[in-house]
C-alpha cells in the first residue's frame, strides 16, 4: 500500500518535499565566518594570479623557442 501512495504523489508534493529536505540539509552546513571567507577569497585570488603568470611565462618561452626554430 505504501508503494502505491508513493507512486501516486503529485509532482508538486515531491517538489515541496525536496525543498524541505534541501532546507534541512543547508541548516547542517558549517558556514565560514566573514573573516574566513575574506581569507579564502584572498588565497584563491593569489593562487589564480600565480598560475596565470606561470602559464604566461611558459607560453612566452615556447613562443620565443618556436620563433628561433622557424627563423633558422
The band of 26, judged by pLDDT with boundaries at 50, 70 and 90, is: very high
Confidence of residue 5 (pLDDT cuts 50, 70, 90): low
For residues 17 and 13, give the distance between their C-alpha atoms in angstroms, rounded to a whole number: 6
Q: Does any domain span residue 40? A: yes
Residue 37 belongs to a domain? yes
Considering the domain boundaries, does residue 42 fall inside one?
yes
Q: Which domain holds residue 59?
A: 32-71
Give a yes or no: residue 7 inside a domain: no
- Mean predicted confidence (pLDDT) in 35-48: 98
- The total of structural domains in the chain comes to 1
Total Cβ atoms within 10 A of residue 40: 11
Helices marked H in the chain: 2-8, 11-28, 34-71
Q: Give me the pLDDT at residue 10, please.
A: 72
46 located within any domain: yes
User: Could you tell me which of 50, 69, 18 has the C-alpha nearest to residue 10?
Assistant: 18
Report if residue 10 sits inside a domain: no
Report yes or no on 62 lying in a domain.
Answer: yes
pTM for the model: 0.60
Is 8 a domain residue? no
Amino acid at each position: 500500500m505504501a508503494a502505491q501512495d508513493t507512486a501516486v504523489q503529485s509532482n508538486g508534493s515531491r517538489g515541496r518535499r525536496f525543498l524541505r529536505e534541501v532546507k534541512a540539509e543547508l541548516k547542517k552546513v558549517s558556514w565560514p565566518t566573514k573573516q574566513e571567507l575574506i581569507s579564502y577569497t584572498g588565497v584563491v585570488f593569489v593562487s589564480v594570479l600565480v598560475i596565470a603568470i606561470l602559464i604566461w611565462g611558459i607560453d612566452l618561452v615556447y613562443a620565443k623557442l618556436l620563433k628561433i626554430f622557424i627563423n633558422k
